[in-house]
Structures are given as C-alpha cells and as structure tokens.
C-alpha cells in the first residue's frame, strides 16, 4: 500500500507533458519580440524628436529673421516721421502770419494722417508675412504628421 500511495502522490504532483525546452523557447520568442518592438518604438520616437527639433530650429530662425525685418521697418518708419516733423518745424519757423501757420499746420496734419494710414497698411502686410513665415515650419510638420497618421 505504501507503494500505491507513493504512486498516487507522484501522479498528483507530476507535470504531465511538461517540457522545459518549450518554455525556454516560448520565453525567448517573447523576449525577442519585445526587444524588436522596443527598438522599433525607439526608432520612431527618435525620428519624431529629430523632426520636432528641426521644426523648432527652423521656426526660431524664421522668427529671428522676422524680428530683424520688423525692427528695420520700425526704424525706417521712425526715420521718415522724424524727418517729416523736422521739415515741418523748419517751415513753421519761417511763417509770417497766423493764417499761414494754420494752413501749414492743417496741411501737415493731413499729410501725417495719410502717411499713418499707409504705414499701418505696410505694418499689417509685414506682420502678416512674418507670421506666415514663422508658422510655416509648424504647418508643414503638422501636415506631415497627419499624413503619417492617415497612412498608419
């Protein structure tokens, strides 16, 4: 009976058809698949980070160029307005009557208002151009991402 008891216990605790080589192979396949997926995910993340870095660099370069352009436009606007004002002051110094001063002042104000409107239009165009140039790399990156998403 002791032999029958040992045989019954052996059958209960036995691992029928257990092959350690199959477990090792399955684990190896699982690990290799995980490594391959990790490498692929890393490559995609690295490419995305490089693209984002290039986009940011291009955007900053365009923003710097736009700032310089707007700064030069501001200097030019101030130069024109200053020269016009000095010219007007010189004319005022040569006035012989109050009527002539009023006429000169009215003409100056009218000219300055027209110039201000023209300058505002110029500024509007310049700012629009700079903002389009600065936002262009981001737009290209978004379009590329959307294309990649649609393909996937």
Give the pLDDT confidence of 25-51 residue by residue, as tens digits: 788 888 899 899 999 989 988 988 898
Q: What is the pLDDT of residue 78?
A: 96
Q: What is the pLDDT of residue 142?
A: 84
Q: How many residues does the chain have?
A: 152
The C-alpha atoms of residue 132 and residue 102 are separated, in whole angstroms, by 45
Question: Which parts of the chain fold into alpha helices (H)?
Answer: 2-13, 20-93, 98-151
Q: What is the pLDDT of residue 61?
A: 93
Q: What is the pLDDT of residue 3?
A: 63
Query: Among 23, 47, 55, which Cα is nearest to 141's?
Result: 55
The C-alpha atoms of residue 148 and residue 45 are separated, in whole angstroms, by 14
Query: Among 136, 121, 130, 119, which Cα is nearest to 70's?
Result: 130
| Two tokens, residue 123 | 């500024």
The 3-class secondary structure across 25-54, one letter per residue, is: HHHHHHHHHHHHHHHHHHHHHHHHHHHHHH
Query: Phi and psi (nearest 5°) for 17?
Result: 55, 30
Q: What is the pLDDT of residue 140?
A: 87
pTM for the model: 0.65
The C-alpha atoms of residue 11 and residue 145 are separated, in whole angstroms, by 60
List, for the chain, all residue ranges whose pLDDT scores fall below the cut of 50: none
């Amino acid at each position: 009976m002791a032999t029958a008891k040992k045989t019954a216990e052996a059958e209960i605790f036995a691992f029928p058809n257990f092959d350690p080589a199959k477990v090792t192979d399955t684990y190896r396949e699982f690990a290799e698949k995980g490594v391959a997926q990790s490498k692929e995910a890393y490559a995609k993340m690295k490419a995305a980070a490089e693209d984002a870095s290039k986009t940011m660099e291009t955007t900053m370069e365009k923003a710097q160029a736009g700032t310089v352009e707007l700064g030069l436009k501001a200097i030019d606007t101030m130069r024109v307005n200053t020269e016009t004002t000095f010219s007007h002051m010189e004319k005022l110094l040569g006035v012989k009557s109050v009527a002539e001063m009023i006429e000169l002042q009215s003409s100056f104000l009218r000219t300055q208002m027209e110039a201000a409107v023209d300058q505002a239009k110029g500024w509007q165009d310049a700012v629009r151009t700079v903002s389009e140039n600065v936002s262009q790399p981001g737009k290209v990156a978004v379009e590329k991402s959307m294309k990649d998403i649609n393909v996937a």
